[in-house]
Amino acid sequence: MSVVIRLSLIAGMLFITADRLPAPISEVEEKPTPTATPLPEPKLKPKPLEKTKTADTAAQPTASVESGKERRKPLRPFASDAGAGSYRRTIDGQTLVWNNYPKPDDQAAWSGQTDSEGYATGSGQLTWYKNRVPVSVYSGTMVRGKLHGVVTDQDANGKKYQGTFVDGVKTTDWIEVTDFRVPSEVTPQPDDGFMGTWKLNQSKSNIPAGTYHNNTVVYAQSGDQVTITGDGVDGAGKAVHQVWTGKFDGKDYPAKGAPTHDMRAYTKVDANTLTYTLMKDGKNLGNGKVVIAADGKSRTVTETMLGTDGKPVNATSVFDKQ
């Protein structure tokens, strides 16, 4: 390596500096190129085996698709679907029936009659299908497309059960029956003349304007009781749906949904005649009579009810049996 000595005079002072010259190429020390040291292979721990799925988790249906692979989700229990029911048309497209737990592949067939509004009515069999395969057969009475009263259910395995429905909702537990009988054989039907669907005949009726009245009334046996369902309008023309369930024994039973009264009591006079009283907040607001014609094809309801002004209002309604 070489050094150059320089003399510099700055402000009367002598400075000596030494500059280092670069070394010749031959003197440059060759450093070996470092070689990469291979890293040790990581020791992989064996992945623990997954536990075998239990029957509860293994049987869940496919509910979603993720990255092209199916992933399973648990079924929602039927209890979470409560209140999500809707009407469905039967396979022939002619009749409306109620389904408490509708699914896309549900199909139904109804063997009984259809009322003027397209709802299943009266006695018959309601058969439900899944993927065109029958899974359940219900035998009983329909009121506005809903099962009502004593119902017998036969499942896909041929087992039969009986329970009670009110307005399409099962109100008792299913009881398995070994000696199958249709509902009319299980519970006597002493009031068959009244049972069925009745539609108001406007031309034969005399109903004061602004008076609450029914346009359609359905009588259905519910075990040892009778359920009367009415659909009509109140004094302002607003739609009303009311349900009464009780016995024709002269005692008061709740009238749910009725705008003019909260209790109603029926008394059986004879095979074709009923009398009734209307109560609200413990006060008697009116009374009436129901008489079925000798041919059983119509019934006439005469009623006296206190109006909003406290004066009695008389109305006569004639209904034709459907």
pLDDT in tens, 96-126: 999 888 888 888 889 888 888 899 988 888 9
How confident is the model at residue 169, as a pLDDT?
86
**Is it the case that residue 42 has pLDDT exceeding 80?**
no
The pTM score is 0.47
For residues 10 and 289, which has the higher predicted lDDT (pLDDT)? 289
How confident is the model at residue 206, as a pLDDT?
94
For residues 97 and 87, give the distance between their C-alpha atoms in angstroms, rounded to a whole number: 5
For residues 95 and 180, which has the higher predicted lDDT (pLDDT)? 95
| Tokens standing for residue 101 | 């737990």
Mean pLDDT, the chain, rounded, equals: 75
CB 230 within 8 A of CB 214: yes
Domain limits, the chain = 82-186, 196-321
Query: Out of 3.90.79.10, 3.50.50.60, 2.40.128.20, 2.60.120.10, which CATH number does the structure's domain 196-321 have?
Result: 2.40.128.20
Whole-angstrom CA distances from 24 to 2, 6, 31 are: 9, 21, 16
Instruction: Please state the rounded mean pLDDT for residues 3-7.
Output: 53
Question: Which of 242, 274, 46, 59 has its CA nearest to residue 144?
Answer: 242
Taking the alpha carbons at both ends of the chain, their separation in whole angstroms is: 125
Most confident range (mean pLDDT) of 36-40, 77-81, 162-166, 220-224 is 162-166
Instruction: Please state the rounded mean pLDDT for residues 224-231.
Output: 89
